[in-house]
Structure 1
């Protein structure tokens, strides 16, 4: 009889332990069964938290004044923008995972590259979910390499495109007449005008992109697509670029003894006239700078003849997000032609939609956008677009730069 009672008690405790797990599994299963119209109903009246880097004031303004009001008016969803660096976001997600938290306030996440790879490998994201987005199906080319791989890492429906970026150089043509078209021409310029060029210290993402672009000047990007993530292998491959960067170093601003901490710090040097060039992932930042008076009207952007690195940033959803329905509706709205057009008009961000999938009047609306002064036409820019390196190679390259260039 005693053994029977112990068995009953053990079974009761086990069922008590399993009940929340079963309930969560059932809840997850129920959500997966919802179609988009049902997701819309569940999202009605909720708040969605959008976590991401908050350093772009123009984007922040657009989110607060254009996107958020649209979500509220069309779907009765309140957007709560949470400015936070991605490493902090991932750290919080990992902490919640380790604490076995079943719910998280982290709903939408602005993410890409090695951070997406880290998040996926640690099972921090919800998905796949792009199959639930009508606008993804209708307007996005799901077969395009930029929508199937993020820095060479398979996406598999765990993030949706947010905007496209491409590295460009900005100069004041009244001060610097000739635009270096190659790495060699840039080196010659630096030697003739010492102290007037520099780039942000790695691992800043703009500085890192510049270094990778220099690597592509010497080594074909295809060589890296299947390269082993081994430090010695990578170092051997990029040695010509390392030699170049070390030859360039003494002619940099501050003689290469220090580097700007990030893109904004470099931009300040450019606006103050201390350096002649500014590098940015914002392909149309020059027009905004001219418009707000921070750049001279003679400012213009340019790219290398071989091209410059472009990538797509994405929006993911936290695995234990408590507002998954609202996140899906919000991301779907972000992919609407109306929102992409607004972002293109207001911010000059390259749209992520497939032009061939748009209606004639929508194509005409995008084509009619005036990108402003000093910009490169979109078709010309995209013709000079180079793919990103696989995510696993990026931190290796940054480590090598710190040792072989910054440390020299």
Structure 2
């Protein structure tokens, strides 16, 4: 009897130890990041999960496309629930920085829409998960992975930390019913601004689009080539871009509210434009204007302005924060957003009008007709400056323009 009891105890102890061991292995497996998993494992881990997508929410046409097409497709194809949270990138970065300082490993953000100096800040501050992009099938199959458009972001090496999602070109938009003059450079723009006092303004820096406007003014007046290779030294930059700062001060009294205040966001400027409070707005997504015109959000007389010396262009990206609680779901969402169907869908102006990042030579011929052929392309594009130059220019604008009397 004692032998049987002892045997039973041994068996139970063995099972208990085995269960504990299995439990520990399961726990370890669950804690292994997607960086150590193949994509099939990532897909399996992502099933039945929820992904929190954080990014700019000021484009209602894009929001509608995302909340219907993307959300529905992710649920249908992958059994993943996607929640979109509209938030400005500076708020997102502040939240991630706070999490980092507090050693909070359980974040609420899974995917971030990002680029430029914000990416550099996130990279330098170790706010990102790691190099994940090389694991994404759609990136490897359909993107020109060697292109500088996707390997460098405002002069910062991407190193697989963010995945390309779309391409943007900065442009000023004008209500042609109110302004009939041809505008193709800062000189002609100044003439129109002075002839229509109070009807032009731009978002206060560091708003992303307002900052692009100031850089495009610098390019047109000073020349991209005379700024791109400058050292990141504030006084040297100030000296080089002073003619552009003089221009911005010259038009300041003729701006909305006499330049005493500026819209705080591009969304606010869009609202002012919709209400005819101003005759101009500006955007990084010229194709999105068509959809917004069709929806009645913007005047049907809206036209874009192409500067003869070039309009700024760049790529926008998606990344995963260091403390994402659903790394697998984040990866699957990002890969889907680089798929042929998703990239094609967003090229249509009624959906968004965003330019694809896919290399059309790598897209099968049978799928190329899925992409919109009715898109706006600004022919003369100029690249962005290095991310480190952007805050320097923004500081100089604050001192030379915003705070000047």
Once the two structures are superposed, the pairs formed by residues 8-47 of structure 1 within 5 Å of their partners are 31-47=34-50
Q: Report the Cα distance in structure 1 between the residues aligned to 2:241 and 2:33, rounded to whole angstroms.
A: 50
Label 1:250 to 1:105 Cα distance change in 2 as closer, same or farther (>3 A): closer
Asked if the contact 1:162–1:352 (Cα under 8 Å) also holds between the matched residues in 2, the reply is: yes
Report SS of the residue matched to 1:61: helix
State the structure with more CA Rg.
2
Measure how far apart 1:400 and its partner are.
0.9
Compute the displacement of 1:255 (Å): 2.2
Query: For the residues of structure 2 that align with 1:33 and 1:260, how far apart are their CA atoms?
Result: 45
Which residue of structure 2 lines up, in the alignment, with residue 340 of structure 1?
A: 343
Deviations 1:80-118 (A, max 9, x none): 222333222222222222232333232111111111111
Query: Paired residue for 1:273?
Result: 276
| Paired position in structure 1 for 2:225 | 222
1:403 corresponds to: 399
**1:307 alignment partner in structure 2:** 310
What residue number does 2:355 align with? Answer: 350
CA distance in 2, matches of 1:267, 1:102: 38
1:287 partnered with 2:290: yes
Q: Which moved more, 1:211-220 or 1:166-175?
A: 166-175
Q: Distance in 1 between matches of 2:371 and 2:171?
A: 21
Q: Tell me the equivalent position of 2:135.
A: 132
TM-score by length of 2: 0.87
Judge conservation of contact 1:224–1:390 (CA < 8 Å) in 2.
Answer: no
Q: SS at 1:344's partner residue?
A: coil
Q: Deviations over 1:179-237 (max 9, x none)?
A: 31011111122233333222222122221111000000122323444432221011011
Distance 2:329 2:384 in 1: 31
1:165 aligned to 163, 168, 181, which one? 168
1:26 to 1:40, Cα distance in 2 relative to 1, 3 A: closer
Query: RMSD of the TM alignment (CA)?
Result: 2.2
Structure 1 residue 302, shift from structure 2 partner: 2.4
1:27 deviates by: 6.4
Indicate the residue corresponding to 1:7 in structure 2: none
Q: Find the aligned partners of 2:26 and 2:239 in 1 and give their Cα distance.
A: 53
TM-score, length-scaled by structure 1: 0.87
**Structure 2 vs 1, CA of residues 172 and 55 (structure 1 numbering), >3 Å: closer, same or farther?**
closer
The 5 A counterparts of 1:139-288 are 139-288=142-291
Unaligned runs of 5+ in 2: 1-24
1:359 deviation in Å? 1.4
**Deviating more after overlay: 85-94 vs 308-317:** 85-94
Residues in 1 aligned to 2:67 and 2:172: alpha-carbon distance in whole angstroms: 29
Q: Which secondary structure does the structure 2 equivalent of 1:50 belong to?
A: strand
Match of 1:93 among 96, 108, 132: 96
Out of 386, 390, 393, which is 2:389 matched to? 393
Separation in structure 2 between the aligned mates of residue 391 and residue 319 of structure 1, nearest angstrom: 21
Aligned to 2:324: 321
Segments of 4+ moved more than 4 angstroms: 22-31
Moved more, 202-211 or 298-307: 298-307
Q: Distance in 2 between matches of 1:327 and 1:268?
A: 33
Which range is displaced more, 319-328 or 291-300?
291-300
Q: 8 Å contact 2:166–2:357 — kept in the other structure? A: yes
Residues paired across the two proteins, number = 378
Give 1:248 deviation, angstroms: 1.6
2:367 matched residue in structure 1: 362
Q: Tell me: CA distance 1:327–1:98, structure 2 relative to 1, closer, same or farther (3 Å).
A: same
Do the aligned residues in 1 keep the contact of 2:273 with 2:298 (CA within 8 Å)? no
Q: Structure 1 stretch 339-348 or stretch 26-35: which is displaced more?
A: 26-35
Q: How many Å apart are 1:356 and its aligned residue?
A: 1.5
Contact 1:152 1:225 in 2 (8 A): no
Q: Is the 8 A contact 2:130 2:160 kept in 1?
A: yes
Q: Deviations over 1:247-280 (max 9, x none)?
A: 2222222222222222222223322323222211
Indicate if the aligned counterparts of 2:35 and 2:132 stay in contact, CA closer than 8 A. Answer: no
